[in-house]
Structure 1
């Protein structure tokens, strides 16, 4: 088992863990979650022996083999298949010894080594490696190509295959789905479910965590907390835990206020001095409970576009490709106002190519692309991060888009993307991939597009930001076209799918589960996926009705949210006034001879404020219930 006891860990000046303890039993499949920078990757480095704890113990059984995904891939001339076989270090060691024995003509050693190879199933290793590569999207021809011939994303897949090839006792995966398409993620899920060892996986893909993990470790507040269950169950348990903590905090605050009130009122009175002093000691000994922090740091919405022409964009017999080579042909489709489209298809089928055409980054080889006069596109792709100016700050990036806007307005807007204080005025260069992705999204949101084109927008985003983006997209009034391996995002924000397959694009009448089943049938038959075969499921009318209902409920939600905002401002104001009145009435000053009139007014006003506070709280609760009903229907 893995045992971490009283562990403290620092990176530079930042304390990541303090007196953390946890035990993970063999065979656990653990999702490791927490905010960016909380220490998840450092925990992996500690388990691999790349970091050492400042204090405490981190114990992994000495005989365990640990596998992890390499971050760099050298430009090797060996084939992809051979590179993956290198992941089985014991196999390669036996093969080297066998070659030496054969060269030395050592019959006894040759016989023994053949026996050892048979024991580890070494003769089936090439078939195992080929199966891994096939699952990760490499066809037989690609498996024989040199490693150096693959692009960065495909090399990351090779590194993943090499880690899976290792017959490990402990497998450490850090964001393994980032460079995968949807169906490769589904294949990886199935592989990991059957993995016999102990698995620790860092991921921000909640569906992936739900499918694979039976335990969740949360890295937060410099400690490690183990929850039993998948990610959805973890969220429920954590919410209950935080609710209990907040209740205990509130109860303790009332106790502290009572003690302090007694001390302040009676410490100067000789008859009460002893009791006041005992309460001072009780206050000093009290072990303070921290308030629960459950609010997301992200809060943003897409503003209503200036215009919503219909259709926004239309393709008429379009061929798309690079140079003179078409990748997609005979594409005739339109993007209607308010449509919410998810693109499905295997990696390399042309999803990103289609999005580039819609964004105007690629010209059609044939046919016509007709955009509405008032079309305004917001386009997010991974290469958008490269267009950010590394020496500039988030505030400077936004100021270039809005030179007339006041600085405070820009800062408030950036705050919704968690660029607050110094973060808004720090250079972009040293920022993490997640922070750069957030900034790129912020710049798109500011522009008020009526057509959003998102190509893998969640790759670098943590769970909190993914959730905030999902909520914002659900209320986005314009049209949306999205490519993503994040099923939670696709299922929550899209109403219909386009299938990119067989060199063309057609509507897919089904949901993600239908697509999964269709792909499994295609793979079982050994056939290439055909877009025409996907018409077996007919749910178009159902999808249309669901989309109309979602738009209707979204329209109902907006005035409720506006009213809720007003009530919350009044609650804040009344609570502040009541706190001031309570403090005055609990003070010695209130009972001095010269303050009789003020005391009477304060007592009267306290009654008025308390009554109004109760009314507003009741209105707020009723409005929350109403909003929850609308949100439940939206979900």
Structure 2
């Protein structure tokens, strides 16, 4: 599908790739990983023809249909649906040709174009576009809204939907989950797992890569190294290589000791067996993957606060909202030193509203908010990046907070966040989103908080910085409340979950896998959701005029439907996993068949066996896909009966 031959590339006087070769086979889903600035996005530009290499070539098969996700979108009055439909370039071409034929009164041309439109399934295109929009978190009312009315993050979602709408043989996605919530991430994982073409994607979300990727392409010292399997498999394989390198040995051992210490502390505190075992297994897994990050440029901690209160903060019988509108009621939260809470809930349920209410009393419309005498809050949200002084450097930002601090102490501190030498003195104006996020986190850590309120802290952060943040949060002795679509960070830093849904905040006893199942079931229900745009706190009230008895009856009916659908959902999940396994086997067989040596006369039997296995795998995949379609149609029919 894609071949790189003796490829060399430099940008800004620095070599990114030197004489590298790689082959991507049809049907593979390849995650591209590497340090910031290694050349991941430049590789995409090479494939798209937007850059030319210094040497070598990039080759695609003739007639290859290519789709990619744009990083920016201009404000336009086109509706969200039309914008997404624009991704199907061939559909738009046929529509224009039909309009031209109609204006000329050319009946023959009209008949021919109608036939082409029918082959293109043009009749279903609007429905397919709306399905993509709903999957990415938009609601029906947004379909006709102009693109210009959406905020930046939601426009990025529109770009993603447009890329998915375009029929393609090769799909390129650059950080597709950056502006998605957990619900949309899970939907996208399922969509991409069924994508029939070849996928290349850049991501810093390890769980997303584990679910989607069949191969990893790693930028490593101006070379490209291919690994078979998902991101966890890559970490294990790379760890084995790095563990043999003496230069990184001592730092690796120090990290493992830190993780083991955290596991012991966690085991001592765990009281809920189910949750404890799930998280302990995840933490034990970190011991195996940690060596893959021994060469990380980031290593920092949140310094211990000078003083601490117990409790740090509490809200009793609180109500929260904004613009005269109540979003959440009956808020009862008490944060003690060591509390580690993750907020779950669908987009628009009010997670950001709750974070804001914890940060200050301005969002509370009723109830009592009591803060400890020594409460010191570190608050991270996306608007924190916008409040940075763009003409100041990271060094100056910290110096303003502590004028008496020595220059060396500030430089040492910033070094843990990846700002070394002159980088610490650069104006923030020229920084990327990830670099600005690191500055904001450095400012928070410098202030020695005892309560961290983090609203999507991993947006724009690369894998190594996410790993460093995860380890820093593990060592943090204060309280943490976090909203994140990064499941790895949640699993490894959170002890308890709160569910924010239907205007209430309640304790959630399940784990992230339970929450994923809850989200899947919720998709089949006819639930009113808010219109996206700015803050996810703009939740709408329950249906006006619905009595308590009606609501109970509706809930009973929904529960009965979920129970009826449960075996079909389980079968659907089993079939999806089986399809993924068969596809991986097919990819491996295709790699085997791509080996020229297999076609030597003496290997005739090996070739025959490989072709036979390929035929069997294709037949099995077709059978499983047909059953999956039947089960999916049954679920859709059940959902339709309920609505």
Superposition TM-score tier, normalisation by shorter sequence: 0.7 to 0.9
**Distance in 2, Cα, partners of 1:248 & 1:69:** 37
1:190 aligns with 2:182: no
Counterpart of 1:573 in structure 2 is none
Q: CA deviation at 1:48?
A: 0.5
Superposed displacement of residue 241, structure 1? 2.5
* Partners of 2:470 and 2:91 in 1: CA distance: 46
Report the Cα offset of residue 330 of structure 1. Answer: 2.8
Q: Measure, in 1, the Cα distance between the counterparts of 2:139 and 2:355.
A: 25
Task: Assess if the C-alpha contact under 8 Å between 2:322 and 2:363 holds in 1.
Answer: no
Describe the SS at the equivalent of 2:5.
Answer: strand
| d(CA) in 1 for partners of 2:362, 2:224 | 48
**Residue matched to 2:120:** 120
Measure how far apart 1:56 and its partner are: 0.7
Residue ranges of structure 2 left out of the alignment (5+ in a row): 250-291, 530-541, 543-550, 560-643
Deviation of 1:315 after TM superposition, in Å, equals: 1.5
Deviations 1:398-436 (A, max 9, x none): 111222222222222222112222222222221222122
Q: Which has the higher contact order (CA 8 A, sep 6+)?
A: 2
Secondary structure, aligned partner of 2:32: strand
Alignment partners' CA distance in 2, 1:114 and 1:73: 31
CA–CA distance in structure 2, aligned partners of residues 83 and 437 of structure 1: 30
The Cα of 1:397 is off from its aligned counterpart by 1.4
> 1:209 Cα shift?
0.4
- Report Cα offsets for 1:3-37 as digits up to 9, x if no partner: 11111111121211111111111111000000000
- Change beyond 3 A, Cα 1:111–1:293: closer
Report how far residue 242 of structure 1 moved: 2.9
Query: Is the 8 Å Cα contact of residues 522 and 528 (structure 1) preserved in structure 2?
Result: no
Cα distance in structure 2, aligned partners of 1:10 and 1:210: 30
Aligned to 1:508: 508
Q: Distance in 2 between matches of 1:391 and 1:361?
A: 31
Aligned equivalents of 2:161, 2:150: Cα separation in 1: 14
Kept after mapping to 1: 8 A contact 2:248/2:295? no
What is the distance in 1 between the residues matched to 2:430 and 2:7? 29
Matched, 1:139 2:139: yes
Shift of 1:445: 1.0
Q: Are the counterparts in 1 of residues 361 and 369 from structure 2 also a CA contact under 8 Å? A: no
CA shift digits 1:433-454 (9 cap, x unpaired)? 2122112111111111110001
2:303 and 2:78 mapped to 1: Cα distance? 52
2:99 is matched with 99
Query: What secondary structure is seen at the aligned counterpart in 2 of 1:507?
Result: strand
How far apart are the structure 2 equivalents of 1:328 and 1:322? 10
**Runs of 5+ in structure 1 lacking a partner?**
250-291, 537-635
Structure 1 residues 245 and 509, CA gap change in structure 2 (3 angstroms): closer
Give yes or no for the alignment of 1:422 onto 2:422. yes
SS in 1 for 2:519: helix
Distance in 1 (alpha carbons) for counterparts of 2:362 and 2:83: 35
Contact 1:474–1:493 under 8 Å retained in 2 = yes
Q: Contact 2:293–2:464 at 8 Å: present in 1 too?
A: no
Which residue matches 1:622? Answer: none
Write out aligned runs for 1:261-280 (5 A). none
- Quote the residue 1:16 is aligned against: 16
The residue that corresponds to 1:264 in the other structure is none
For residue 528 of structure 1, report the CA deviation from its aligned partner.
5.3
Cα deviation, 1:339-371, whole Å, max 9, x if unaligned, reads 111111122222112212211284312222221
Residue 207 of structure 2 aligns to a residue in which SS? helix
Q: Which residue of 2 aligns with 1:394?
A: 394
What SS does the corresponding residue of 1:224 show, helix, strand or coil?
A: strand
Instruction: Specify the alignment match of 2:466 in structure 1.
Output: 466
Equivalent runs, 1:147-166 vs 2, <5 Å: 147-166=147-166
What residue is the counterpart of 1:543 in the other structure? Answer: none
SS in 2 for 1:23: strand
The residue that corresponds to 1:552 in the other structure is none
**Matching residue of 1:42:** 42
Q: Decide whether aligned partners of structure 1 residues 304 and 243 sit closer, same or farther in structure 2, where only a CA change above 3 A counts.
A: closer
1:171 offset after TM fit, Å?
0.8
**Could you tell me how far apart the structure 2 residues matched to 1:99 and 1:203 are?**
41
* 1:322 is aligned to 2:322: yes
| Superposition pairs of residues 400-419 of structure 1, within 5 angstroms | 400-419=400-419
In 2, the alpha carbon distance for the partners of 1:220 and 1:362 equals 49
Question: CA separation in 2, counterparts of 1:439 and 1:101?
Answer: 58
The answer to whether the 8 A contact 2:30-2:214 is kept is: yes
Give the direction of change, closer, same or farther, for the CA distance of 1:362–1:162 in structure 2 (3 Å limit): farther
* Aligned-partner Cα distance in 1 for 2:294–2:341: 32
Residues 352 and 248 of structure 1: is their aligned pair in 2 closer, same or farther, counting only changes over 3 Å? closer
How far 1:244 moved relative to its partner?
4.5
In structure 2, C-alpha distance between the alignment counterparts of 1:338 and 1:217, rounded to whole Å = 39
Q: SS of the counterpart of 1:374?
A: coil
Larger deviation: 392-401 or 195-204? 392-401
CA-atom RMSD in angstroms: 2.3
**Alpha-carbon distance in structure 2 between the residues aligned to 1:99 and 1:293:** 57
Deviations 1:549-586 (A, max 9, x none): xxxxxxxxxxxxxxxxxxxxxxxxxxxxxxxxxxxxxx
Q: Tell me the alpha carbon deviations over residues 490-515 of structure 1, each in whole angstroms, 9 at most, x when there is no partner.
A: 11101111111112222112111111
**Where in structure 2 are the equivalents of 1:327-476 lying within 5 Å?**
327-360=327-360, 362-476=362-476
> Which position in structure 1 is the counterpart of 2:302?
302
Q: Distance in 1 between matches of 2:400 and 2:526?
A: 53
Matches within 5 A, 1:475-494: 475-494=475-494
Aligned to 2:605: none
Partner SS state of residue 525, structure 1: coil
Deviation at 1:219, TM superposition (A): 1.1
Contact 1:355 1:453 in 2 (8 A): yes
C-alpha deviation, 1:293, in angstroms: 9.5
Structure 2 Cα separation of the partners of residues 70 and 314 of structure 1: 44
Quick one: structure 1 residues 361 and 222, their matched pair in 2 at CA, closer, same or farther if it must change by over 3 Å? Answer: farther
CA displacement, residues 41-93 of structure 1 (integer Å, 9 cap, x when unaligned):
01001100111111111112231121111222222222111111111011111
8 Å CA contact 1:340–1:493 kept in 2: the answer is yes
Q: Hey, what does 2:596 align to over in structure 1? A: none
Equivalent-residue separation in structure 2 for 1:163 and 1:395 (angstroms): 40
Residues 153 and 179 in structure 1, CA contact (< 8 A), matched pair in contact too: yes
* Contact 2:393 2:424 (C-alpha < 8 Å) held by counterparts: yes
